[in-house]
Chains A and B, each alone.
Chain A
Amino acid sequence: MSSMLVLAIVLAIGLAAFIVGRQRAVAQNDGKVKPHSRAHYHGWWAFLLAVLPAVLVLVVWDIGSSVYLDRQVHAALPVQAEDGSPINEQLSAGLVNSLARGLRRLDDGTQASLPSTFSELQPLLAEKGVALATDTKDYMIPIAREANAAQDRAGLIGGVIAILLAATGAFYSVGAVKPRARARNNVEKLMLWGLLGASTIAILTTIGIVLSMLFQTIQFFESVSPLNFFFGTVWDPRFAAAGSGGSEGQFGLIPLLAGTLYIAFVALLVAVPVGLMSAVYMAEYASSKVRAVVKPALELLAGIPTIVYGIFALVTLGPWLRDLSAALTGGAPFIQGQSIFVAGFVMGIMLIPVVSSLSDDIITAVPRALRDGSLGLGATRSETIKRVVLPAALPGIVGAVLLTASRAIGETMIVVLAAGVAANLTLNPFEAMTTITVKIVNQLTGDLEFNSPQTLVAFALGLTLFGLTLIMNIVALAIVRKYREQYE
């Protein structure tokens, strides 16, 4: 029995429990005893009692049985292949699983008279649109069939248990409908747990991020020493063919980190002065009419996806600057189409609205009294801004710049398209450098091997990036929070 069908049946039982429970509550209200809860709360309580335990059991059973089946498949695999070579258990189990999935597509007649060799089976499967790896072995067919049968049995048992549980819950809860039963409190208590559960998803996500990257990173550090990773100055991962055990690549973080920080620095050089000045103008000078036009326009700038900026840098700005520099020197261009400057400049433009909206909030939070005092002493508005408002807002602005910097470090699409892929160490802003994010994308697109250092390094890079931005965010948020409290 498929889980979907079981789920549908359980939900149907729940719906029936809701209707019957509600009916009973309505019928019991004879006007003598004041009911504790309104009728539909009784209905909902019946529904929840019928559905929740059944669904929980179904989920646990599904997970448990798939783990159990996986073990069975592993146990059924022979230790040695026919030619005596040891087999890769993980790989073979994967093949058996995809074979089992493929067999499910066949109709019952074919299932009954299944050919015993893979070469005969393959055309049958191909007809159903199932493509299988060619190194699937004959001995895997009975294992796959057995696995399918065991899965069917497990599904049937789990389905029956879940449906029985749902029916029991429904009968019990419908029977428990009494005028003085506290159905509303029960329902609300469950709802509260639901709300609490939803809010823990944020924590689960963070844990998931850290754990998933940590495991792969540890695996990576088994083949490459952390010392070589964090302090190596050469990035040369050398994509070796799978399993060939080709020459070791070098995974030096330094060139990537340098590129990341350099590009982020160029971006901040553009974004911070421009963004800050626009925020000052918008907060202190602009009339409400100007604000009404410019603010949405800046928001629009912030709403443009980063890939659009990246493509603008790649297709328009980069070639234009390259041709311009070639025309200036009359020979070879000294600005490359993909370079630190192009990527940093475009990223800076992207960050202008980020800086300006963050600092706008911070500047407007500076109390009116400070401004009035300064103006009253005869200072001009710009003097007030430069000597009173900005110094008062400085901690907040530092926080905003830090937040922006963490955005710049984690930005991916602009640098993927505009910064280049060569891991250089250079100081010339008109040459190409690459970043951590570019390398994460490069190492993980199109490749399916997950146990080579070439792909695992992406997780080590990701963890580094996460750690870097996490520290910046925490410091920035703490500064901004402290700053807000100061004036509230």
Chain B
Amino acid sequence: MTDVSFDTMPAAAAPVRRDIGLKARYRAERRFRIYGLMAISVGLVFLAIMLASIVLKGHTAFWQTSVTLPITFDEKVIDPQGERATDANVLIKANYPKLAENALIAKLGIDPQDKAAVRKLKGFLSESSRVQLRNIVIADPAVIGTTRDVDILASANIDSAFKGQIDLGVDEARRKVSDQQVSWMNQLKADGVMAEHFNTGLFTFGASSRPETSGMGVAIIGSFFMMAIVLLLALPIGVAASIYLEEFARKNRFTDLIEVNINNLAAVPSIVFGLLGLAVFVNFLGMPRSASIVGGLVLTLMTLPTIIIATRAALAAVPPSIRAAALGLGASRMQMVFHHILPLAAPGILTGTIIGLARALGETAPLLLIGMVAFVADYPATPFDPATALPVQIYMWANEAERAFVERMSGAIIILLVFLMAMNITAIVLRRRFERRW
């Protein structure tokens, strides 16, 4: 009953509270929190927008339009004079695109005498048919005179039109694909011979001036060489340096100097490392320009501070009791470090190394200076051959005007990001899995 009487007490009886602006202060508190949330969402929203725009622009790069045509390896086209037995160059220099063109004419039912229509066919198939058909013939000259089905890539413009990226509402004269070509395209599509396939060329082709035959093959190999060099050099050197600084060095001027140096190097702009590479490795030591070995060395120097800082943190996190126990049982200091401390610090070192490698993989600026912006069509066999790198390839495609290159570029960014994300996630998982609280 007291509750009821309490509730029914007149409000005026409540003690009068001095107004100390509490409401305003609470409002300020709420506002402050909202600012914080807004700040975080700015970063995350931007991340989402950026990823979305790249994926939207780039996902089509993983598909490539090709036409399956019954190619007749006509002797009259390949070797009109019948000299191939005596002159090996005949098979190399033959007019292979003509074969593909003839097959297409037959398929579309165009009158071969209709010059205007045949001219419009020129830009329909990719020039890559030359290499493709030549390889078939050279591998097996017996194929001449027979007919077989071959997948021929469509040219970049037709590819864009097939994917629906070209606005057909625009006046015909102002777009790169004519109405005639569109109707052929639809005819081939209805026949089921023209279709999009997974674009393996994106991963295997080298540099090319034609979008449909350019890929990241050379860049992937170049990046792989460089990462291998960075791993082989930066990991042992970085670990050795950290062991010395963390476990052996006495505190004196010299170690202070090293420490200040490492911290500064970690903050030196990456382009400065490129200048160093150009002046020392290329000019002074005479190493080849645009080779992955120079890129690897430059990236090694750039990655070293990251690895050293991570390794030192990992070594410092191993409790002193382990050291005392090892020394107490008669191990030398070297044995203590290499038999006990290093294995316990390994997960932390590994995490730091992966993060350093990921940074090196995405680094572009220093590689531009040592001449990795090169048009390299052939796979590099060794790290001393000219090569490019994934981010440099992206940069080179960004400077191209054609829209098909923009598509390839976005596709390449997706691949690069997938690599980087895989590395970063591995690092995070490693850290979670093996992190030990002492």
> Is A bound to B?
yes
Cα-based distance from A338 to B46 in the complex (angstroms): 19
- Secondary structure call for the B interface: helix
Contact stretch, chosen from A102-110, A159-167, A279-287: A279-287
Whether B261 sits at the interface, judged by CB under 8 Å, is: yes
Q: Is the CB of B304 within 8 A of A409?
A: no
Point out the residue from A192, A278, A416 that lies within 8 Å of B36, measured CB to CB: A278
B42 close to A274 (CB less than 8 A): yes
Given A216-B279, A312-B54, the answer on whether A209 and B268 have CB atoms closer than 8 Å is yes
- The answer to whether B243 and A195 touch across the interface, beta carbons within 8 angstroms, is yes
Stretch at the interface among B24-32, B73-81, B83-91, B116-124: B24-32
By a CB distance below 8 angstroms, the chain A residues around B428 are 296
Is A308 within 8 A of B50, CB to CB?
yes
Chain B residues positioned under 8 Å from A470 (CB to CB): 264, 268
Whether B25 pairs with A294 at a CB distance below 8 angstroms is: no
Is B316's beta carbon under 8 Å from chain A? Answer: no
- Note all chain A residues with C-beta closer than 8 A to B279: 212-213, 215-216, 459
Q: Considering only CB atoms, which chain B residue lies closest to A411 in the complex?
A: B269
Instruction: Report whether A202 and B304 are in contact in the complex, using a CB–CB cutoff of 8 Å.
Output: yes
Is B284 in contact with A437, judged by CB distance below 8 angstroms?
A: no
Contacting residues, chain A, for B371 (C-beta < 8 A): 445
Interchain nearest-CB distance for A253 vs B (Å): 16
Within 8 Å by CB of A274, from B39, B54, B280, lies: B39
Other-chain residue from B241, B334, B358 in contact with A202 (beta carbon distance below 8 A) = B241
- What distance in Å separates the Cβ of B356 from its nearest Cβ neighbour in chain A? 12
The CA-CA distance from A107 to B240 in the complex, in Å, is: 45
A298 and B43: CB pair below 8 A?
yes
A381 to B31, CA, bound (A): 12
Residues of B within 8 A of A278 (CB): 36, 39-40, 43
Query: A462 contacts B272, CB within 8 Å?
Result: yes
Asked if B93 lies at the interface with its beta carbon under 8 angstroms from chain A, I say no
- A27: Cβ under 8 A from any B Cβ: no
A residues 241-281 in Cβ contact with B at 8 Å: 273-278, 280-281
Residues of A within 8 A of B32 (CB): 381-382, 385-386
Interface-located stretch among B9-17, B141-149, B209-217, B416-424: B416-424
Q: Is B257 an interface residue (CB 8 A)?
A: yes
Residues of B within 8 A of A213 (CB): 272, 275-276, 279
Which of B129-137, B185-193, B198-206, B391-399 lies at the binding interface? B391-399
Q: From residue A2, how far is it (CB to closest CB) to chain B in Å? A: 14
A465-B271 contact, Cβ under 8 Å, with A202-B305, A203-B257, A417-B398: yes
Pick out which of these stretches binds chain A: B100-108, B157-165, B173-181, B360-368: B360-368
Q: Are B241 and A281 in contact (CB under 8 A)?
A: no
B301: chain A residues at CB < 8 Å are 201, 205
From B29, B333, B361, give the contact of A382 (CB < 8 A). B29
**A1 near B: Cβ within 8 Å?**
no
Q: Report whether B269 and A312 are in contact in the complex, using a CB–CB cutoff of 8 Å.
A: no
Identify which of A132-140, A222-230, A299-307 touches chain B.
Answer: A299-307
Shortest C-beta distance, A14 to chain B (Å), equals 18
Across the interface, name the chain A residue whose C-beta is closest to B428: A296
| Chain B residue contacts of A309, Cβ below 8 A | 50
CB distance from A42 to the nearest CB of B (A): 15
Which A residues between 291 and 333 are near B, CB-CB below 8 angstroms?
294, 296-301, 303-312, 314-316
Do most interface residues of chain A lie in helix, strand or loop, or is the interface mixed? helix
Does B278 have its Cβ within 8 Å of any Cβ on chain A?
yes
- Whether B35 is near chain A, meaning CB under 8 Å from some CB there, is yes
Give Cα A200–Cα B258 distance, bound, in whole angstroms: 7
A441 proximity list for chain B (CB < 8 A): 271, 365, 368-369
* Complex interface residues of chain B between 35 and 86 (CB less than 8 A to chain A): 35-40, 42-44, 46-47, 50, 53-54, 57
Partner of A208, one of B54, B276, B368: B276
Q: How many residues of A contact B (CB 8 A)?
A: 89
Question: Which of A192, A410, A473 is the one whose CB lies under 8 Å from B270?
Answer: A410
CB of A349 within 8 A of CB of B43, answer yes
Q: Is the CB of B275 within 8 A of A352?
A: no
Residues of B within 8 Å of A411, CB to CB, are 269
Whether A487 is near chain B, meaning CB under 8 Å from some CB there, is no
Q: Find out whether the CB atom of B304 lies under 8 angstroms from the CB atom of A303.
A: no
Q: Which residues of A contact B248 (CB under 8 A)?
A: 192, 195-196
Q: Does A155 contact B (CB under 8 A)?
A: no
Does B245 sit at the interface, judged by CB under 8 A? yes
Which of B43, B242, B409 lies in contact with A353, CB distance below 8 A? B43
- Chain A residues with Cβ below 8 Å from B313 are none
Q: Let me know if A281 and B36 touch, CB within 8 A.
A: yes
User: Would you call B264 and A473 a contact (CB within 8 A)?
Assistant: yes
Given A209-B272, A277-B36, residue A305 in contact with residue B391 (CB < 8 A): yes
Cβ-neighbour of A412 out of B42, B46, B263, B365 (below 8 A): B365
Chain B residues numbered 267-306 whose CB sits less than 8 Å from any CB in chain A: 267-273, 275-276, 278-280, 283-284, 301, 304-305
Within 8 A of A (CB), among B229-258: 236-238, 240-245, 248-249, 257-258
CB nearest neighbor in B for A409: B269
Which A residues are CB-close (under 8 A) to B270? 410, 412
Query: Is B436 an interface residue, CB under 8 A from the partner?
Result: no
CB nearest neighbor in A for B44: A297
Interface size on B, residues (CB 8 A): 87
A295 to B416, CA, bound (A): 22
Q: Chain A residue with minimal CB distance to B241? A: A199
| Cα separation A305 to B370 with both chains bound (whole Å) | 19
Known: A303-B424, A440-B369. A205 touches B276 (CB 8 A): yes
Bound Cα distance A213, B240 (Å): 28
- Give, as a whole number of angstroms, the nearest-CB distance from A474 to chain B: 7
Asked whether B332 lies within 8 Å of A437 as measured between CB atoms, the reply is no
Do the beta carbons of A191 and B334 come within 8 Å of each other?
yes
Are A209 and B420 in contact, with the CB atoms below 8 A? Answer: no
A305→B421 CA distance, assembly (Å)? 11
Known contacts A202-B265, A441-B368, A459-B275: does B424 contact A312 (CB below 8 Å)? Answer: no
CA distance A411 to B269 in the complex (A): 7
A401 on the B face (CB < 8 A): no
Q: Which residues of A contact B398 (CB under 8 A)?
A: 310-311, 314-315, 417
With contacts A192-B248, A412-B271 known, is A382 near B33, CB below 8 A?
yes
Q: How far is the CA of A462 from the CA of B237 in the complex (A)?
A: 27
Given contacts A196-B244, A300-B47, A410-B269, contact A212 B40 (CB under 8 A): no
Contact B258 A312 (CB under 8 A): no
Q: How far is the CA of A202 from the CA of B238 in the complex (A)?
A: 10
Complex: how many Å from CA A311 to CA B409? 9
Whether the pair A206, B417 counts as a contact (CB closer than 8 A) is no
Give complex CA distance A477, B261 in Å: 11
Docked CA distance A462–B274 (Å): 10
Q: Is the Cβ of B358 less than 8 Å from the Cβ of A303?
A: yes
Q: Are A202 and B271 in contact (CB under 8 A)?
A: no
Report the bound CA distance from A307 to B223 in whole Å: 15
The verdict on A198 contacting chain B, using a C-beta distance below 8 Å, is yes
Q: Once the chains bind, are A307 and B395 in contact (CB under 8 Å)?
A: yes
Separation of A215 and B275 alpha carbons in the complex (Å): 12
Given contact pairs A382-B29, A469-B267, enumerate 6 new A-B contacts (beta carbons under 8 Å).
A203-B257, A208-B280, A383-B28, A406-B267, A416-B365, A417-B398
Residues of B within 8 A of A (CB): 25-26, 28-29, 31-33, 35-40, 42-44, 46-47, 50, 53-54, 57, 236-238, 240-245, 248-249, 257-258, 260-265, 267-273, 275-276, 278-280, 283-284, 301, 304-305, 308, 332-334, 355, 358-359, 361-365, 368-369, 371, 373, 391, 394-395, 398, 406, 409, 413, 416-417, 420-421, 424, 428
8 contacts between A and B (CB under 8 A): A195-B240, A206-B265, A213-B275, A274-B43, A417-B395, A437-B365, A444-B278, A465-B269
Taking Cβ atoms with an 8 Å cutoff, the residues of A that contact B are 184, 188, 191-192, 194-203, 205-206, 208-209, 212-213, 215-216, 273-278, 280-282, 285, 294, 296-301, 303-312, 314-316, 349, 352-353, 356, 380-383, 385-386, 403, 406-407, 409-413, 416-417, 437, 440-441, 444-446, 450, 458-459, 462, 465-466, 469-470, 473-474, 477
